[in-house]
Structure 1
Amino acid sequence: MERLLRTSLLLFLFGTTVYGNHPFTVINRCSETIWVGTFGDDDIPAGGSFKLDPNQQQGFTAIQGWTSGRVWGKTGCDGNGRNCRTGEAPPGGRTTLQAVTLAEFGLDKWMGMDFYDISLVDGFNLPVSIRPSGTIDDPNCRIQACNFDFGVCPESFKEFGTNGQVIACKSACSATWDPQYCCPAPQVPEDQCRPSEYSEIFKRQCPDAYTWAYDYLNSDRNCRGNPVSGYEITFCG
């Protein structure tokens, strides 16, 4: 009881509030079934993968301080969510240099704020949007969305489905693994890494998205919970 009283007094004096986990909702507005991949350095929500039929949605929670959080859509998978045409990853693992649209999160970070973005650093496979909820009103805490016209994808960067349609567009990094496009640290320091003619293709399509390794100035969004932030991720919405 004495410890509880001391903790309560400290919380009162320093204005700190203990919040709960963060609610997420994922919605599939695509015309096909997708499997949703999840990953984080300190937590892998929903077991790392779940199935969503068209117009279906599912929720999960992310822990406080979720680090390197990723959510993405996998297409053309078998009945167990494996052998996917796009977005394949090891069980409970993260994607690796594949053409996939990523929703990325770092929750409860600097000054308690959440940071989120849409990343095309590895490429694009599905339109996606991120809508924050339960947050303090702030101009930088807003919906972020990205769609992409496969017609502008360089021919050698395109990935095709079984019927010959384009299902993904690789980035220059995932297509070539060339250090000048991937900027692997520490081989290529930040001051020597620059956008390329290929990353500019993605930037013109989705101006707010990450399109190369250090493209954070106009790409990061941040929110503060009021009291607990949540996020809605919609594919093809």
Structure 2
Amino acid sequence: MGNRNWLAMVAALAAALLTTPTEASKLVVRNLCTATVWMEQLNVPNAPKVARIAAGRQRTYKIPDGRTVEATRWWPKTGCDENGENCKVGQSIGPCPDGGCAPPIDSKFEATWCVGGNCETFFNLSMVDGYTLPVSMRPKAPDNISAGCKPAACPSLSTRKNVCPTDEDLSTDGQFPALKGQDLRMRNPVSGKVTGCFSPCGKLTYAKAFGGHGFKPQDPEAAHYCCKGVADTPEVCGAGPVRHTSYAKLIDEACDRQVYGWAYDDANGTHTCTGDVTIVLTICPRG
């Protein structure tokens, strides 16, 4: 190869490296469940909508450098077909299985990524709507010792009767007595099997076919549990009954006060890391 051609190849390679975005930040999803998990995602560039992760395996989602990637979300699904759809647990968006798509009470990981600079990535685990599987998250970043760049783990969450509340008082301090003694376990309308645990807001607002009540979030029966309507501020909602529900106490205790248990639970739920960050999200973590 002539010297001129060699120099041209080197120049072309250098140009390609300069124009191809790096992938400094990423989410690594580990499946420690005994069965296959399918991860559904929203708003993640260059990633499949649904990805299969066999038991004991992991998958890495790379976040492109030099841009802000907003409002990304992941959640686990199980009991799915060969395409990762029609799942028994976690099928909250179409294509829907028999009986319809489940209410979105999935155990959620959410993040807005700021990559390639001295900026912050915001991330959380959210049980605001409810939960399905136990999860944990652990960040690795240059400022890993800062107060906001911290892990969260909920290894003991379960849909069993002795974990998910079955006698929840959602009466808004007695205003709606018919809503006392609520079972928060969500059941598949076809099989009748428990497939998740409603939050108080989820129980009051999601589909009746799955065990919800179908109120609107701003309706008087739901407003103080969903932080909507008359309760749409941190101060009003935080002073109301939602913080004192068995569900909110369960999330606080099971997740060491590091996870969103209700809509304005920012003091517990919000996590931030500065600089490039790798977050390890584990499904079915071991306690």
> TM-score, length-normalised on structure 2?
0.65
Q: Determine if the alignment matches structure 1 residue 172 to structure 2 residue 194.
A: no
Match of 1:66 in 2: 69
- One-letter identity of the residue aligned with 2:163: V
Q: Counterparts of 1:181 and 1:211 in 2: how far apart (Å)? A: 11
Higher strand share: 1
**Residues 130-162 of structure 1, C-alpha deviations (whole Å, 9 max, x = no match):** 121243232332322113143231232113579
CA distance in 1 between partners of 2:282 and 2:152 (Å): 11
CA distance in 2, matches of 1:186, 1:66: 33
Does residue 201 in structure 1 map to residue 250 in structure 2?
Answer: yes
- Structure 2 residue 134 is matched with structure 1 residue 123: no
Please report how far the alpha carbon of residue 88 of structure 1 lies from its aligned counterpart in structure 2 after TM superposition.
Answer: 1.5
Whole-angstrom CA distance in 1 between matches of 2:236 and 2:22: 40
Which of 191, 207, 214 is residue 235 of structure 2 equivalent to?
Answer: 191
Shift of 1:21: 4.9
Matched residue SS, 1:135: coil
The 3-state SS of whatever aligns with 1:132 is strand
Structure 1: runs of 5+ lacking an equivalent: 1-17
Amino acid at match of 1:233: L
**d(CA) in 2 for partners of 1:66, 1:22:** 11
Q: Secondary structure at the match of 1:193?
A: helix
One-letter amino acid of the structure 1 residue matched with residue 184 of structure 2:
F
DSSP 3-state at the match of 2:73:
strand
Any conservation in 2 of the 1:101–1:128 contact (CA below 8 Å)?
A: yes
Deviation at 1:19, TM superposition (A): 7.0
Per the alignment, residue 53 of structure 2 pairs with 52
Q: Distance in 2 between matches of 1:77 and 1:184?
A: 34
Question: Number of paired residues?
Answer: 214
Given the superposition, is the C-alpha separation of residues 82 and 137 from structure 1 closer, same or farther in structure 2, using an over 3 Å criterion?
closer
Q: Does 2:190 correspond to 1:182?
A: no
CA deviation profile, 1:163-212 (whole Å, cap 9, x unmatched): 87644211111111123211236873333213241322322222211000
Q: Spell out the pairing of 1:1-237 with structure 2 (5 A cutoff).
A: 20-40=23-43, 43-44=44-45, 46-63=47-64, 64-90=67-93, 97-108=103-114, 112-140=119-147, 141-147=149-155, 148-149=157-158, 150=160, 151-155=162-166, 156-160=183-187, 166-177=194-205, 178-184=222-228, 188-194=232-238, 195-197=243-245, 198-206=247-255, 207-225=257-275, 228-237=276-285
1:73 alignment partner, SS class:
strand
SS of corresponding position for 2:150: coil
Which amino acid in the other structure matches residue 210 of structure 1?
Y
Q: Which runs of 5+ in 2 are unaligned?
A: 1-20, 96-100, 167-182, 206-221
120-129 or 60-69: bigger deviation: 60-69
Across the aligned residues of Structure 1 and Structure 2, the Cα RMSD in angstroms comes to: 3.0
Distance 2:39 2:272 in 1: 23
Distance 1:183 1:233 in 2: 28
Q: Identity, % of aligned pairs?
A: 27
- Offset of residue 96 of structure 1: 8.3
C-alpha distance in structure 1 between counterparts of 2:49 and 2:198, whole Å: 23
Partners in 1 of 2:229 and 2:72 — Cα distance?
Answer: 20
Question: CA deviation digits over 1:59-100, x for unaligned, max 9?
Answer: 1212432212211111222222112222213359xx985221
Provide the C-alpha distance between the structure 1 equivalents of 2:279 and 2:136, rounded to a whole number of angstroms.
Answer: 10
Aligned CA distance change for structure 1 residues 204 and 134 (closer, same or farther; 3 Å): closer
